[in-house]
Amino acid sequence: MTDRVSLIKQKLTAVLDVTHIEIVDDSSKHAGHAGARDGGGHFNLNIVSSEFNDKSLIQRHRIVYAAVDELMNTEIHALSINAQTPEEFSSN
């Protein structure tokens, strides 16, 4: 089985200029949940890119979802996204 975290990272870094990325697989916390039973994983994503500059929260999420679209409902059941600009990230 392909490492889902690596696959998600590959999809995101192929389309975004990413300066920081952290993906946590929380699938084990959702064992027995309908999506988990069907093979989809639960992930928390922290991603930083200058491409999020001047973008609303929903625009940032749409960019991320577009990058991983083919993985949704197969490899990914749930994705929690924290998308920041480099300036936002450095101030945290």
Rounded-to-integer distance, Cα 13 and Cα 24, Å:
16
Q: What is the mean pLDDT of the chain?
A: 88
Provide the number of structural domains found in the chain.
Answer: 1
Angle formed at CA 18 by CA 23 and CA 22, multiple of 5 degrees: 15
35 Cβ contact list (under 8 Å, min separation 6): 42, 77, 78
pTM score, two decimals? 0.85
Environment class of residue 91 by beta-carbon count within 10 Å: exposed (0-12), middle (13-18) or buried (19+)?
A: exposed
What's the CATH code of the domain at 23? 3.30.300.90
Q: Tell me what pLDDT residue 1 has.
A: 36
**Percent of the chain scoring above 90 in pLDDT:** 70
Beta pairing partners, 73: none
- The pLDDT-based confidence of 77 (bands split at 50, 70, 90) is confident
In the predicted structure, residue 68 carries a pLDDT above the cut 60: yes
Instruction: Write the pLDDT tens digit of every residue in 2-17.
Output: 489 999 999 999 999 9
In the predicted structure, residue 41 carries a pLDDT above the cut 90: no
Range of the domain at 83: 4-90
